[in-house]
Amino acid sequence: MSDIAITSAFDSGNIEVRSIFGDEALLKIRPDQDSSFLQWFHFRVSGARGRALTLQITGLNGSAYPMGWPGYRARVSEDRRFWGLADCAWDESLEGGTLTIRYTPTSDVAWFAYFAPYSMERHHDLVSRIASAPGVSYRALGQTLDGRSLDCLEVGDGPLQVWLYARQHPGESMAEWWMEGALELLADPANSVARELRRRCRVHLVPNANPDGSARGHLRTNAAGVNLNREWQDPSAERSPEVLALRTAMDETGVDFAMDVHGDEAIPAVFMAGFDGIPSLRPEQAEGYRRFIAILERRTPDFQTQRGYPVAPPGKSNLTMSTNQLAERFSGRGCVAMTLEMPFKDHDDAPDPRQAWSPERSAQLGRDCMAALLEWLEGRDSVGHVADYP
C-alpha cells in the first residue's frame, strides 16, 4: 500500500512533513514569519479513503498556547463545507508535546485544520456579495505589507458610529465566520433589526483586519511577524499599516461602540473582555459595557459571563490593545468597546458533540450580537445618554 500524501501549499495552509510511513505521519507547525508564534495548522491528506490515519503534530510544548491542547479536537472536512471533529489525544511528554489525530476518511481527500478555515477566496466572495446589496457602501481603508486591500463595508445613516472588526489574529478564523453572520443580517433589507440599526447608526465592518497573515497561514501576526493587537498606541506604516489605516479611519468618524472579534485557544466558552483599567474610565462607559454583556447573555445560551480574562486594576490597562485604546481614545464620547472571544474547543455550557464550536454557531452569534446591539441602543436612548461632543 502506497504512502498517503500531505500538502499545505494553498491559502492559509500550514504544516511541515517530517515523515510519512503508510497511514502514519509525523508533522510540525511552521511558525509565523519572523516570529515564534505557532498554533494554526491547515493541511490536506490524499490517498486515504478507508485508511485509519494517525497524524502526529509534534513540538507543541513550544506553541503559543500549549494549555490549549488538552481537551482539544482537530477539525476535519471531506467537502470543505461541513467541518466535524477528529479523535485527538494530547501527550506533553511525547516528541516535545504531541497532538495525535486519528481519522478514517470515506473519500480520497480530507482537510484538517485547527479551526474551520475562512479562505481569502471566501472573503472576496463575501465582500463582493455584501458590497452589491442595497444601502451598502465599500471602501478600502489602506493596503497591507503584501499589497492586499483592507476592506471595509458600511451600512446605515444614523449618527452613532459603530465599528466591528475581526481577525487581527488571522488564525482565529471563527471571527470572520462571525462577521459573515453579522454582515448578512445588516445587508438584508427585509430584516427588522437591520433596518432599525441602519436608522440609528453608521456601522463600519472590517471582516479581516489581517489578510496577509490569513493567506500565509499565520496564527497571530501579519507579514512582518507583528501582533497587530499590540500596535494600537503607536502603529506605523512599516510594522502595522493595517492598524494605522484602521485607527486613522476611526479617528475620522469617532467611535461610540466597537467590538474586536477573536478566538481563544484555552477557555471552552464564549466570553467578553472589556476596558476596566483605562485611565479616563467614565461611569457611563462601565455601565454601558456591563449592560451589553447582560443583554447578550440573556439573548443566547452561546454566551456566558462566569469565565474569561482577569480584569485590569484601575489605570493599568494595556493601551496597545485595541479595545483599551478605543475606550480611552474616545472616552469623551462615552465609547463602549469590547473584545469578543470564541473558543477553539467548545462552549461547554451548550456543547455540540458533532462540531464543538463551529462556523455555523459563529455566524449565528454574529446575528445575535446585532440584535443585542439594537436592544442596547434602545436602553441607551431610554436613559437619555448624552455625550459631551457635538
Q: Is 341 an active-site residue?
A: yes
DSSP for 363-380, please give it.
HHHHHHHHHHHHHHHHHH
**Cα-based distances in Å from 122 to 159, 209, 214:** 31, 15, 12
Of the listed 172, 184, 265, 341, which one is catalytic? 341
Query: Which of 163, 185, 162, 101 is closest to 363 using CA atoms?
Result: 185
Residue carrying the nine cell digits 477539525 = 75
CA dihedral (132, 137, 141, 142) positive or negative: positive
3-state secondary structure of 112: strand
Strand partners, 355: none
Cβ atoms 361, 350 nearer than 8 A: no
E strand or H helix that includes residue 5:
strand 5-7
Q: What is the largest CA-CA distance in the chain?
A: 74
Local structure of residue 205 (DSSP, 8 states): E
Q: What are the catalytic residues?
A: 341
